[in-house]
Structure 1
Amino acid sequence: MGAAGRLLLWLQLCALTRAAYKVWLPNTDFETAANWNQNRTPCAGGAVQFPADKAASVLVRESHAVSQVLLPLDGELVLASGAGFSAAGDGPHPDCNAGGPWLFRNPDRFSWLDPHSWHTRDEARGLFSVDAERVPCRHDDVLFPPNASFRVELGPGASPARIRTLSALGQTFTRDGDLAAFLASREGRLRFHGPGALSLDSEACADRSGCVCGNAEALPWICAALLRPVGGRCPPAACHSALRPLGQCCDLCGAIVSLAHGPTFDLERYRARLQDLFLALPENQGLQVAASKVPRAPEARTADAEIQLVVVETARDGAGGAERLARALVADATEHGEALGVLSATLRHSGAPVGGGDSAGPEGLGSRAGLAVGVGVAVLLVLLGALLLLHRAGRLRWMSRQGPESAPTELPLGFRNPIFGQETSPELPPPLALELDIDARQSYFANPLFAAQAEAEA
């Protein structure tokens, strides 16, 4: 095959391969301030200590004058060109050890399953990934920077982490046998540890509509690693009726658009469309979209996967921009669905912001009106209940609008009138007579006419 043929074959393979590069971020370099208990590199004359029971490979790029160095039982210091250590007393900084020795932090604290540990190379502006896809997926290529030292905890070992290729220490592994031999070597054991395992899947994602990440089983451990710095619990969402997209650890405010697609749908082309036609608009500068293929609900009969679009606002107190953009995406899919390969689109969105923030559009007005009506009905019911209780207790009596000729229909409330010499109504029953309040009894006996009647009855 000639050079032109090889170039054509390479271009075809690149077109078919739809993998992302995931780059490892943490390092165990000596000069990284975050690796030390005082959050700065040891000063001249400092006493340096490494954890005795922790194995690690530490890259040293510069020369350091130290008073003493306590090395681990198993580990290595990799010296770059011109780097080294020299013995020194207190040095030019007498207070260098005032805060105690310089302790190298636990090198085992970095986990493969922690989304904070990874960066997706060439991720476009305005696009992001749900938590499960921030960790290397089944068809991803993994790169450990060759100019840094590192150590990785591989997880609990429930199932091996599957990736496409792994590049470390100047080598690229594409076969399970070669990777297994590297992990069993001293170089591999100093950099990878834990009960977990790595497995290579050389099959590239050849589906133009994208491939499912494959981290669903590992999601509980991914979320545990992600939330460990905040106590293991999700922060409360800043809206009512928050959403939980597939692959996300915590509820969020925004909108989710689900696209049912046909064989002509192209995920990369659709992502470019999102950037050019929607995210580039000035009114959408504070919005981000995650677009990926996810498993479809088991009850669905059309396909086993769908495209999930997660729209969120970068500002915590967003004003409905996510819902507005999501509705625009649904309208775009409805109008251009045949050209895009989209069969249908459905929308879900979160509710109004917590704390009485305004919700955009008529739906927000309807929510506030419904809340006002509900509060009014509740107040009215409370008042009616209070009136009924007062009436039953005898503290409240209904006034009749009937004329003098109307016959009484309830228990009579009159008494004998000595002035007219006739009985206008029967006597009050004893229970009702006892319910007269104190003021009523005082006014009754203060009247001379009523007092005479009372003395006669006595």
Structure 2
Amino acid sequence: MRSLQPLLFTFLVHLSTPTTVTWMRNAVFNLPQNFVGGKLPCSKQTVLFPEELQEPIRLVGNVSVSEIILPNDGELYLDDVIIALGVDAEEQCEDDRQVEFKDVSYSSWEDPDVWYSEKFNEATPDAERVPCHEDIVLFPKNTQIDIELPKDTQYINMMIIGDTEVLDVDSLRANFSFDFILNDYWETGLAFVNTKCSSKAGCPCQINTPEIKCYKKNCPEPKCLYPIQPTGHCCKICGGSITFETTPSFNMVAFKETVDKIVGSYNRDQFVYHVSKLPQTWESFIDSTEREARNKFNDISGKVHVIVVEKGEYTGVSTEVINELYHSMSRMESKKLFLSGNPINMVGFGWKVFISALLIVMGIMGVIYVYYYRLPDHWIRNFSLNMSIPGRPVLSRFQRRTDSVLSLARRDSEVSRISTGGFRNPMYDSKRGRVVVTESVEEEE
């Protein structure tokens, strides 16, 4: 019995460890909607900041631009960032125009690109890029922005505004100097419930799926044939996904270990994956009690969603990973597999190889045919003379005689003794045993 205690403890920690989701809307340089035109600048473009910044702007990751025109008044935070100034020859950049950075002061709770968490990756659906019921929501200090609160109730663990902890709706209302905007029901749309997932089948991110603002997304063009759009994603992507119904015996922790093992059998650094429990109900705005909410989150029914994508350029290997996982799930019911097609740069590659090989073969056969059967006699003679130059190899196709006059006659006739040229049928010897030639002599009158 003692041996089971560490395993049980690990299981509960795995399911119940809260994560921090940070509001980044007013602080991030690397968001497409922060620029006029809705696209991130490239290495040929110049970034122009407003003359005055109302908020401190944070630069993270890799930034590659031609030039940055800084504001007269404002703050920029460099958070583990690499800034490359100048044109990158390998980058596909459309033009070298100037791009303006917008100092936006309004956003929505349900905008997926305003949140940051270490648990997010390229496979995470937009519907789960907002705070989940176990998350701690963090708003940095000196955040000055109008935030539209969600319409359908979203459950969170707690909220931290600057240095202040917010544990209930009343405390949230007391912090409305932060410029929260009530939803259509004149409510906050948030519920603070300390719900820890205790179901071995896993829990959904939220009971009520948030109304994600997909119209704000700048979806890149998928680099594959027949891209897929998994549940919760605003954009079509290249990769693979599986959805299936859970059973009373389903174990989310064991299933995630299986997924991780299969992904690791290929190249772990090449892929990212996301496993989650989908909401079972689609409710309107309802303020549930803590007990009701906890029961709903720990409901064993519902579907599980798996998404596997590649980190860099799409090669199609991610579909092989998800396909292997699909065939390993022999006991799961109502499985649905979604796979994107081949990379666009590989579309028709097989046909191109086949047609090229066919043209090469046809060309070789055509040369052989022309050379042996259709090449004029004077071309051959001239070619033979040209090849007879000293120091060059001599090509000889026929055993030619001194004359080009050919005659057909009986060997004992007068014509054969007179003629200075001759013709020898190369097929005669092979057929003489099978062909009987009959001669007829006309009598002289």
TM-score by length of 2: 0.50
Which is helix-richer, 1 or 2?
1
